[in-house]
């Protein structure tokens, strides 16, 4: 029987959209063209072999979930890979799906997991847990740096002896995209691998809340509570989401107390330290501080390089050194953004069938970050200026008063003021903790010297070009 494949695929896309980040969705799912839908087989066309492999490696679960939800448990997916650009020849590759029946709680209409009754949950245990803990989020794939050392070691210690260390609860906090979920899931995966008899449950606070609301609606609040009280390791992500939700906090409080008293491990994440969590009951906040609280900070340059190298290695992709360096300097906000840029870069190279080089990296970044000039980081400015004046980056941050170093330092401060959105205070901080008046003085000195010294002015102009070049 033939079904309208466009409609089927657009229903699948709706499910997929709920399960992947927006940028990944645009990059990997928008270019797919549905070709045919007949006898439980959906055929989709993908732009290249690489594209197909990437989908299979990274999104096979999402694709499975989508086609099962839309077409039913017998659904299969077939890829048609475009072999030659400009030539419509395609080589179909058949990939069988699925090998597992979906969760009873999966609602094909909404494309979302519905509330899972505690007792049902045990019976669909493996599907449920698998869908919660991403197997790629391990300690092995988690790069350690100054920004996350304490959090990582505490997490690792907890994973070796859950409930036994004094890190109970373990509370990790940090800004968006800094690796909280990855780290807590690494704890979950490690425990599942080493202590297979333990019941590890990862749940976002949002999901916990929604499950509880459904339980209330179905008069099953007690079952809900009983279920959570059986868990050995409860990992609850983004607890700030519980703010203002009095009844959910109440039940969480009881679950927390029960688990803690029974020596079960609790791991939590939040986007800010417990003291800044607004809208949470005092009694919960005080319990959050019982164990260990550790923060995740923005990754430094070396950690960013290591993260890129690690991702490339695990995906079997080669990126030249200068491109890695360029990306690590350019994207210093958070790791998710860095990954987003990498994904786009790989997709661009794959779609256009070109090698990844600096030019492509610049173009990709330009498409993603519109106002790139304001995105130049202080790190990058310091490195470029130090190279130009042939001094060490470290000397820009210490107290050395040698003339050439003072000039390089002032020029770097000048560009930091011109090209970044950082405050004078923040700039001073990046230059060895100097105060804002030193930065004002540096900017004035550079302006004065440019007025009186033509060769100095030429040097600053040349540097300006260098700094701008990276955004072209
Ligand atoms: N130290 C690290 N090493 C390797 N990859 C990392 C590291 N930290 C984060 N990542 C990766 O960066 C991406 C974002 O991380 P994650 O989702 O854990 O952030 P988050 O802090 O939970 O963000 P949010 O606050 O938005 O939930 C993930 O793909 C994760 O694997």
CA angle 20, 25, 28 (to 5 degrees): 120
Ligand 1 neighbour 58 (Cβ under 6 A): no
Residues within the annotated binding site for ATP? 177, 179-181
What are the CB-based long-range contacts (under 8 Å, 24+) for 107-113? Answer: 107/69, 108/68, 108/69, 108/70, 111/14, 111/15, 111/18, 111/66, 111/69, 112/18, 113/207
444 pLDDT tier (thresholds 50, 70, 90): very high
CB 79 within 8 A of CB 93: yes
Is the pLDDT higher at 15 or at 52?
A: 15
The ligand 1 atom at the shortest distance from the C-alpha of residue 182 is 18
Tell me which fold the domain 378-471 belongs to: Chromosomal Replication Initiator Protein Dnaa; Chain: A; (1.10.1750)
Ligand 1 neighbour 305 (Cβ under 6 A): no
Residue 378: pLDDT over 70: yes
Tokens of 449: 């010297």
In terms of CATH, what superfamily is 133-295? P-loop containing nucleotide triphosphate hydrolases (3.40.50.300)
Mean pLDDT of 185-204: 93
Tokens of 342: 């990498």
Residue 419: pLDDT over 50: yes
Q: What is the pLDDT of residue 90?
A: 41
The torsion angles phi and psi of 433, rounded to 5 degrees, stand at 75, 30
Select from 151, 173, 181, 204 the residue to mutate for testing ligand 1; criterion: most ligand atoms less than 8 Å from CB: 181
Residue 105: pLDDT over 60: no
Separation of alpha carbons 126 and 101, rounded Å? 11
Gap from CA of 58 to ligand 1 centroid (Å): 16
Nearest alpha carbon, ligand 1 atom 7: 179
Neighbours of 282 (CB within 10 A): 7
Residue 88: pLDDT over 50: no
Mean pLDDT of 262-269: 96
Is the pLDDT higher at 239 or at 110?
A: 239
The class (CATH top level) of 5-102 is alpha beta
Separation of alpha carbons 177 and 308, rounded Å? 15
Ligand 1 neighbour 377 (Cβ under 6 A): no
22 pLDDT tier (thresholds 50, 70, 90): confident
Gap from CA of 460 to ligand 1 centroid (Å): 38
242 pLDDT tier (thresholds 50, 70, 90): very high
The torsion angles phi and psi of 2, rounded to 5 degrees, stand at -95, 135
Q: What is the pLDDT of residue 418?
A: 85
Residue 129: pLDDT over 90: no
Indicate the domain borders of the chain: 5-102, 133-295, 301-368, 378-471
Is the pLDDT higher at 430 or at 374?
A: 430
The 10s digit of each residue's pLDDT in 278-334 is: 899 999 999 998 899 999 998 888 899 999 999 888 878 888 988 998 888 878 778
Span of 76-90, 96-110, 447-461 with lowest mean pLDDT:
96-110
How far CA 310 is from CA of 38, 140, 207, in Å, comes to 41, 10, 31
Mean pLDDT of 426-449: 91
CB 102 within 8 A of CB 48: no
Tell me which fold the domain 301-368 belongs to: Helicase, Ruva Protein; domain 3 (1.10.8)
Mean pLDDT of 433-442: 92
Nearest alpha carbon, ligand 1 atom 10: 179
The torsion angles phi and psi of 38, rounded to 5 degrees, stand at -150, 145
Ligand 1 neighbour 176 (Cβ under 6 A): yes
Distance in Å from the first CA to the final CA of the chain: 53
Burial of 348 (0-12, 13-18, 19+ CB in 10 A): middle
The ligand 1 atom at the shortest distance from the C-alpha of residue 303 is 1
Separation of alpha carbons 234 and 117, rounded Å? 17
Gap from CA of 44 to ligand 1 centroid (Å): 30
Select from 335, 340, 341, 343 the residue to mutate for testing ligand 1; criterion: most ligand atoms less than 8 Å from CB: 335
- Picking from 91, 47, 28, the residue whose alpha carbon sits closest to that of residue 344 is 28
Q: What is the pLDDT of residue 325?
A: 85
Instruction: State ipTM.
Output: 0.98
Ligand 1 neighbour 15 (Cβ under 6 A): no
Gap from CA of 299 to ligand 1 centroid (Å): 11
């Amino acid at each position: 029987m033939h079904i309208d494949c466009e409609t089927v695929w657009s229903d699948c896309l709706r499910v997929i959209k709920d399960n992947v980040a927006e940028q990944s969705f645009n990059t990997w799912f928008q270019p797919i063209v549905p070709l045919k839908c007949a006898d439980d087989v959906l055929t989709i066309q993908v732009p290249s072999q690489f594209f197909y492999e990437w989908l299979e490696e990274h999104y096979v679960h999402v694709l499975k979930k989508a086609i099962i939800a839309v077409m039913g448990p017998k659904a299969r997916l077939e890829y048609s890979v475009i072999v030659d650009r400009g030539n419509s020849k395609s080589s179909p590759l058949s990939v069988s799906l699925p090998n597992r029946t979906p969760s009873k709680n999966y609602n094909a209409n909404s494309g979302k997991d519905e509330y899972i009754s505690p007792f049902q949950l045990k019976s669909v245990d493996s599907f449920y847990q698998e869908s919660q803990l991403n197997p790629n989020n391990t300690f092995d794939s988690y790069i350690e740096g100054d920004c996350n050392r304490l959090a990582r070691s505490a997490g690792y210690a907890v994973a070796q002896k859950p409930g036994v260390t004094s890190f109970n609860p373990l509370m990790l906090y940090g800004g968006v995209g800094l690796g909280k979920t990855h780290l807590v899931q690494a704890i979950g995966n490690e425990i599942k691998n080493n202590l297979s008899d333990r019941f590890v449950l990862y749940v976002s606070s949002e999901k916990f809340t929604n499950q509880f609301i459904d339980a209330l609606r179905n008069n099953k609040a007690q079952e809900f509570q009983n279920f959570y009280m059986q868990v050995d390791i409860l990992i609850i992500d983004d607890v700030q989401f519980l703010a203002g939700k009095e009844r959910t906090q109440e039940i969480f409080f009881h679950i927390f107390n029960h688990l803690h008293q029974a020596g079960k491990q609790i791991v939590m994440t939040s986007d800010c330290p417990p003291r800044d969590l607004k809208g949470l009951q005092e009694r919960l906040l005080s319990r959050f501080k019982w164990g260990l609280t550790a923060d995740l900070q923005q990754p430094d340059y070396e950690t960013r390089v290591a993260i890129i190298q690690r991702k490339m290695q695990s995906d079997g992709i080669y990126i030249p050194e200068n491109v890695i360096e360029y990306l690590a300097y350019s994207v210093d906000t958070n790791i998710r953004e860095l990954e987003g840029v990498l994904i786009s870069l790989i997709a661009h190279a794959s779609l256009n069938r070109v090698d990844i080089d600096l030019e492509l990296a610049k173009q990709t970044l330009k498409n993603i970050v519109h106002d790139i000039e304001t995105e130049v980081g202080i790190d990058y400015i310091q490195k470029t200026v130090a190279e130009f004046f042939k001094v060490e980056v470290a000397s820009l941050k210490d107290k050395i008063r040698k003339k050439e170093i003072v000039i390089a330092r002032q020029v770097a401060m000048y560009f930091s003021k011109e090209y970044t959105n950082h405050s004078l205070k923040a700039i001073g901080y990046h230059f060895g903790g100097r105060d804002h008046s030193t930065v004002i003085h540096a900017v004035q000195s550079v302006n004065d010297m440019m007025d009186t010294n033509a060769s100095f002015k030429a040097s600053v102009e040349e540097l300006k070009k260098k700094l701008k070049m990276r955004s072209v």
